[in-house]
Amino acid sequence: MSTDQGAGAAGRIAVRKTYKLYIGGAFPRSESGRSYAVTDHRGGFLANAALASRKDARDAVVAARKAFAGWSAATAYNRGQVLYRVAELLEGRRAQFAAEVRAASGAAVRAAEAEVDAAVDRWVWYAGWADKLTQVRGSANPVAGPYFGFSLPEPTGVVAVLAPVSSPLLGLVSVIAPAIVSGNTVVVLAAERCPLPAITLSEVLATSDVPGGVVNVLTGRMAEIAPWLASHMDVNAIDLSAAPEPLGCELAESAAANLKRVLRLGDGDWSAEPGLERMFGYLETKTVWHPVGI
């Protein structure tokens, strides 16, 4: 490379970053050794991102499974506090996230800042639901006999999430937060064209109170990695809202092998009210009977 290639205004040579994956609370290189160039909306170089492999996807699922027991056993109040801390750190990196949203979408400064603010608010919104899910989703059932019958929501397990391309940050937060707030752990496949917000979010998570393995971030090609996540027998649910057709149908068929929960709520207007469908989509219902005490 010539001495002036990539030089900034001051004549310095730009540092070309090559980002790693985020698995189990660490930042490993891709097992494949491959990477790809991430460009802005005009085609200008931004950074290199790792091209995750099947082995990386398996490692991420293993990490998510390992973290599930501890995260699902945490109190709802504690999970809410942990998520709220992530929102604080997100706001602390407001300028960086806004710059990455602008680079990915070409949005105006105010629009990019508004998306970051909405993402922070969205994370806080889900954090507030942590200790309310049981009251809304659970029930005390009328029974004929001297028993109590309770139906309680429980996390389904490991969730695979395909991040939307249409909303690099707000959409990303809107598919991760509803999965982990109830005690699930996730493997996120970042949007191939605009992975930088997901990478920066992984750096936020690594310095937050979220235990390693609760959120794992892969970068690479959806068509290459998503089929392995959809067919993985230790993945309990998958969000295919961002999968284009006909890939989405193929992934749904693969997910049926172990009766995964499949969410396909559409890659639409992420600025709209989130609703409860995504949170409820990752919950199982356990009904218990208990004799009435004297």
**pLDDT of res. 5:** 44
Answer whether residue 284 is part of any domain: yes
pLDDT tens-place string over residues 131-161:
999 889 888 888 888 888 888 899 999 999 9
DSSP lists the bridge partners of residue 45 as 39
Kind of pairing between the strands at 158-162 and 185-189: parallel
Answer whether residue 180 is part of any domain: yes
Residue 224 belongs to a domain with what CATH number? 3.40.605.10
Answer whether residue 60 is part of any domain: yes
Rounded to an integer, what distance in angstroms lies between the CA atom of residue 107 and that of residue 99?
A: 10
Q: Tell me the three state secondary structure of residue 173.
A: helix
Residue 214 has pLDDT above 60, yes or no: yes
Answer whether residue 13 is part of any domain: no
Rounded to an integer, what distance in angstroms lies between the CA atom of residue 259 and that of residue 288?
A: 23
Answer whether residue 18 is part of any domain: no
Range of the domain at 171: 35-291
DSSP 197: H
Answer whether residue 222 is part of any domain: yes
**pLDDT of res. 148:** 86
| 270 or 199, higher pLDDT | 199
Residue that is written with structure tokens 């996730």 in the block: 186
Judging by beta carbons within 10 Å of its beta carbon (0-12, 13-18, 19+), is residue 252 exposed, middle or buried? middle
Dihedral angle of Cα 98, 223, 205, 47, to the nearest 10 degrees: -50
Q: At what angle do helices 109-128 and 170-180 cross, to 10 degrees?
A: 10
**pLDDT of res. 275:** 81
**pLDDT of res. 221:** 96
pLDDT tens-place string over residues 84-142:
999 999 999 999 999 999 999 888 999 999 999 999 999 999 999 999 998 898 888 88
Q: For residue 128, give the H/E element and its range.
A: helix 109-128
Strands (E), the chain: 35-39, 45-50, 139-141, 147-155, 158-162, 185-189, 215-218, 237-239, 261-263, 283-291
Answer whether residue 101 is part of any domain: yes
Q: In percent, how much of the chain has pLDDT > 70? A: 96
Give me the number of domains the chain comprises.
1
Dihedral angle of Cα 39, 192, 265, 109, to the nearest 10 degrees: -20
Q: At what angle do helices 54-73 and 222-231 cross, to 10 degrees?
A: 50
pLDDT tens-place string over residues 163-206:
998 898 999 999 999 999 999 999 999 999 999 999 999 999 99
Q: What does the block give as tokens for 202?
A: 């992984």
The distance of Cα 18 from the centroid of its chain, to the nearest Å, equals 21
Answer whether residue 129 is part of any domain: yes
Rounded to an integer, what distance in angstroms lies between the CA atom of residue 90 and that of residue 276?
A: 23
* Of 169, 180, 132, residue with least CA distance to 270: 169
* Confidence label for 266 from pLDDT (cuts 50, 70 and 90): confident
Rounded to an integer, what distance in angstroms lies between the CA atom of residue 184 and that of residue 214?
A: 8
